[in-house]
Copies of this chain bind each other. A is one copy, B any other.
């Protein structure tokens, strides 16, 4: 099925059938540190019409608290409860699966994961502080890993190094039953405004390559986060609309979860890419940017 351009004509159908809008952040709400045109007014309009708003991001560098601060710094009031980052998803995955609190979690990734683990009552190791660890490949050098690590969480890590790769690999290979959790597998991410950079999919693949194991993915397009938030907010899948800029994460995530889907062209996906015959992910609707909803609601 091909997707429809959002229009004043079909917007009421979407709007009236949906109770909650789930927004991806990067490319939808902001680009890097800049707000996309018309976002605050659009969110205000949706709230004023009684729609529930949820922000779902695969970027695991920040915790929900840090994302709430980012929203605030951009002049948008969003509470931590409305934010679902893949860093939070990793902690919730462990919680939901009764991961024992006496076991530790090794983190390849950012501060956000460590903070969410701590808030969930867990002990994280690694993360940014292991970015400074060096290795010496003389014959007696040895990376000694903590045998009480029961899970390795891998997210995007701009400070990836051989020490972290060895530590994570040792835990997964040698600690019996050690879980391998990926925050997400995005190939690229907008780490800076001027170019795309290798995403969590790069670091996750590296650990797949050394362990020959496949991870459990908790971020988009896996439905773990969706199942969790449906339960939390007591919503029905068909009354939710996922709004995102990536076909293979956001739109697939919405479709996997049985939601309506709206692609915005304000991020990585172009209209030719959407229309390309090689693309087999078609959102229900697509539009330029989320503020088109404001325009159509006034039409």
A residues bordering B, Cβ < 8 Å? 32-33, 135, 137-143, 157-162, 165-166, 169-170, 185, 187-188, 191-195, 197-199, 201-212
Between A and B, 21 residue pairs with Cβ closer than 8 Å are A32-B139, A137-B191, A139-B192, A140-B194, A143-B195, A158-B162, A160-B165, A161-B161, A162-B198, A170-B195, A185-B209, A188-B210, A198-B209, A199-B209, A199-B210, A201-B210, A202-B210, A203-B206, A204-B209, A205-B208, A206-B206
> A207: which B residues are within 8 A, CB to CB?
202
In the complex, the answer to whether B142 meets A195 with C-beta atoms within 8 Å is yes
Main secondary structure of the interface of A (DSSP, over half): loop
In the complex, the answer to whether B139 meets A197 with C-beta atoms within 8 Å is no
> A192: which B residues are within 8 A, CB to CB?
137-142
Nearest CB of chain B from residue A202's CB, rounded to whole Å:
4
Bound form: Cα–Cα A203–B160 in Å? 11
> A169: which B residues are within 8 A, CB to CB?
188, 197-198, 202
CB < 8 Å neighbour of A201 from B161, B191, B193, B209: B209
> A191: which B residues are within 8 A, CB to CB?
137
Copies of this protein chain in the complex:
2
Nearest CB of chain B from residue A293's CB, rounded to whole Å:
27
Bound form: Cα–Cα A157–B162 in Å? 8
Nearest CB of chain B from residue A180's CB, rounded to whole Å:
14
In the complex, the answer to whether B158 meets A160 with C-beta atoms within 8 Å is no
**Which of A143, A160, A202, A209 has the most chain B CB atoms inside 10 A of its CB?**
A209
> A142: which B residues are within 8 A, CB to CB?
192, 194-195
> A160: which B residues are within 8 A, CB to CB?
160-162, 165
Nearest CB of chain B from residue A210's CB, rounded to whole Å:
4
Bound form: Cα–Cα A202–B203 in Å? 9
Nearest chain-B residue to A158 (Cβ)?
B162
> A161: which B residues are within 8 A, CB to CB?
159-161
